[in-house]
Amino acid sequence: MTVVSDYLHVGSGEYSVEVLKPISDVDKLVDQALKGDIPNEVNNFFSQEMYLMNHYEGKTVIPGSTIKGMVRTRLELAIPGSCYIVDSRGSNYSPRYKSIFKPEHKKSDRFDPEDYPNVCPVCNLLGNSGLASRVNFSDFVSSDKTDVIKISNVGYEVAKKGARFSGKVVYNSLSKEELGMLFYGFGIRVQNGRVLSKVQLLGRFKYEDKRFGRVTFSIGAVNSSDVISSIQAFQTKYRPRDFKEDW
Minimum gap (Å) between residue 66 Cβ and Zn ion: 20
CA distance 99 to 104: 10
Residue 75 or 159 having the CB closest to Zn ion? 75
Looking at the chain, list the stretches that DSSP marks H as alpha helix, in order from N- to C-terminal side. Answer: 26-34, 64-78, 95-101, 103-108, 121-126, 176-185, 224-238
Residue 79 or 190 having the CB closest to Zn ion? 79
Under 8 Å CB-to-CB from 191, ≥6 apart: which residues? none
Residues in 66-95 that interact with Zn ion by CB under 5 A: 83
Residue 76 or 245 having the CB closest to Zn ion? 76
Residue 82 or 230 having the CB closest to Zn ion? 82
Beta strands in 105-197 (DSSP E): 135-137, 140-142, 146-151, 154-160, 169-171, 188-191, 194-197
Minimum gap (Å) between residue 82 Cβ and Zn ion: 5
16-24, 44-52, 114-122, 227-235 -> range binding Zn ion (CB under 5 A): 114-122
Residue 123 or 215 having the CB closest to Zn ion? 123
Considering only 52, 53, 79, 123, the residue that binds Zn ion (CB under 5 A) is 123
5-13, 93-101, 120-128, 194-202 -> range binding Zn ion (CB under 5 A): 120-128
Q: Is 120 in the site for Zn ion (CB under 5 A)?
A: yes
Residue 29 or 83 having the CB closest to Zn ion? 83
Residues in 169-228 that interact with Zn ion by CB under 5 A: none
For residues 14-37, one letter each, b for 16 or more C-beta atoms within 10 angstroms of the residue's C-beta and e for the rest, the string is: eeeeeeeeeeeeeeebeeeeeeee
Minimum gap (Å) between residue 120 Cβ and Zn ion: 3
Own/partner pairs, 206-209, CB within 8 angstroms, 24+ separation: 207/92, 207/94, 207/96, 207/97, 208/94, 208/96, 209/151
Binding residues (CB under 5 A) for Zn ion: these are 83, 120, 122-123
